[in-house]
Amino acid sequence: RDDEFYMSDGSCIILVENTLFNVHRTILSKDSSSFGTMFTLPQGDNMAEGMSDGNPIILSGDSAQAFKNFLWALYALPHELIHIQSTSGNLPRLIDIARIANKYTFKSLETWALDVIVGQVSRKTIPPTPYSILLASSSHPQSQSQLTITQITDSEQVITLVRLAQLCGHERLLSAMVDSLRKMVTISPENAYIAMTLADELDLRALRGSAYMEVMKFKCVISKRDSLDSTDVVPEGQMDSQGRLVISANQQLRLLTGYYRLTQHWEALRSEPPTLEHAATCGATWNQHSCTQSWQEFWRDKTRSDAILKLDLADVLGRLKVVLQEFDKWGTATFMHHDCRMLARRVIHDKLKGVQDRLPEFF
């Protein structure tokens, strides 16, 4: 029997794992929950479940601690709800509340919990710490009692929140967590792997491109099945003894496909200077042919400069950023109208933004 939620005046006994809860049917029936529907089902000649310890309603798939956190929210007083919103260290409890509320269709409670989570994870954060595999399970909130809400740098916790947001269809939380993951991918190869795997699992387009691009920076990325030393079997997502990130065969195929497509895209960009639409003042006071020629010579020269060649073939974003920097250093071009120079800069910027927006499509 639970020490807090096995109530002497309860009217519904529930078994979760090996813990009995005795709560009120009227409370469980609120918010158009699935419990309300269940309680109205005919029982026939059988004794109704939930009337005794020997015949409880059995809930599968939940932990006793998570269900207890959920019951806390159902029975909490206003000042207790205000306290959980304003203090740190309650994220695991809020995650449990939102997940259980979603499962049993307590829509108002689910929305409240998710909104509180968004408010807390969106606070100003400290710089992320290096990746740590010291994971804290949401079913054991006491293990995270000293975690500050603003320090959402635990990769496993971010993953939990992303999956929760996807499960509940909460766009604000999903967007906030995807942004966090995009920042975390640069910290370590393991973080990049986590983001890459999560993007594939949940089909997160906004995350896939940046995650795969980050993993692509590691030159020795191998598939688990390619490991020749059977004594050095390393789980996917970790580094092997040679400093290589172990990934799945499907992820390796995506990386190779993305590398090929990006290199082909750069070759097409490099070989054909983007079309420059001249400013209206150019034709009246300038030789448009000289203006066009100056732009094309700049493009062909800078796209094969030493600064460009130092970058990886597939680093289209990095190469376009170098072109943009070179354009800003170009100074006053004798044979290019000033207004056309502004338009040319916009063309480069648009090409850069276009690749950023399309990045997931390359993989």
Q: CA 363 to CA 255: how far, in whole Å?
A: 7
More confident residue, 143 or 332: 332
Summarize the confidence of residues 175-189 as an average pLDDT. Answer: 87
Q: What is the pLDDT of residue 334?
A: 61
Q: What angle in degrees, to the nearest 10, is found between the helix axes of 338-362 and 316-329?
A: 170
- 106-115, 126-135, 335-344, range with greatest mean pLDDT: 106-115
Largest CA distance in the chain: 97
Summarize the confidence of residues 273-299 as an average pLDDT. Answer: 81
pLDDT digit string, tens, across residues 220-230: 567 655 555 55
Last residue of a domain, one of 195, 225, 257: 257
Q: What is the pLDDT of residue 53?
A: 92
Phi, psi angles (nearest 5°) of residue 58: -100, 125
68 domain residue, yes or no: no
pLDDT digit string, tens, across residues 57-106: 999 999 999 999 999 999 999 999 999 988 877 899 999 999 999 999 99
- Do 149 and 172 lie in one domain? The reply is yes
More confident residue, 58 or 145: 58
- Do 304 and 245 lie in one domain? The reply is no
pTM beyond 0.85: the answer is no
pLDDT digit string, tens, across residues 148-163: 333 344 677 888 999 9
Give the domain extent around 54: 1-60
- Do 278 and 184 lie in one domain? The reply is no
Q: What is the pLDDT of residue 231?
A: 52
Q: What angle in degrees, to the nearest 10, is found between the helix axes of 205-216 and 338-362?
A: 90
Q: What is the pLDDT of residue 286?
A: 63
- Do 107 and 246 lie in one domain? The reply is yes
- Do 152 and 233 lie in one domain? The reply is yes
Q: What is the pLDDT of residue 125?
A: 43
- Do 121 and 248 lie in one domain? The reply is yes
**% of the chain surpassing 90 pLDDT:** 53
Q: What is the pLDDT of residue 190?
A: 85
Average pLDDT, the chain: 83
Q: CA 29 to CA 104: how far, in whole Å?
A: 10
Summarize the confidence of residues 283-304 as an average pLDDT. Answer: 83
Q: CA 190 to CA 184: how far, in whole Å?
A: 10
Q: CA 98 to CA 106: how far, in whole Å?
A: 9
- Do 130 and 275 lie in one domain? The reply is no
Question: Sign of the CA dihedral 285, 288, 291, 295?
Answer: positive
66 domain residue, yes or no: no
More confident residue, 153 or 37: 37
Last residue of a domain, one of 230, 257, 284: 257
Q: What is the pLDDT of residue 44?
A: 67
333 domain residue, yes or no: yes
Q: Has residue 239 got a pLDDT over 50? A: yes
185 domain residue, yes or no: yes
Last residue of a domain, one of 257, 287, 321: 257
pLDDT digit string, tens, across residues 240-271: 778 888 888 889 899 999 999 999 999 999 99
Number of domains in the chain: 3
73 domain residue, yes or no: no
208 domain residue, yes or no: yes
- Give the model's confidence band at 38: pLDDT under 50 very low, under 70 low, under 90 confident, else very high: confident
- Do 286 and 234 lie in one domain? The reply is no
For residue 253, CA distances in Å to 222, 256, 259 come to 11, 5, 10
- Give the model's confidence band at 191: pLDDT under 50 very low, under 70 low, under 90 confident, else very high: confident
Summarize the confidence of residues 140-148 as an average pLDDT. Answer: 34
- Do 117 and 186 lie in one domain? The reply is yes
- Do 170 and 196 lie in one domain? The reply is yes
- Do 209 and 92 lie in one domain? The reply is yes
74 domain residue, yes or no: no
- Do 223 and 92 lie in one domain? The reply is yes
126 domain residue, yes or no: yes
Q: CA 340 to CA 342: how far, in whole Å?
A: 5
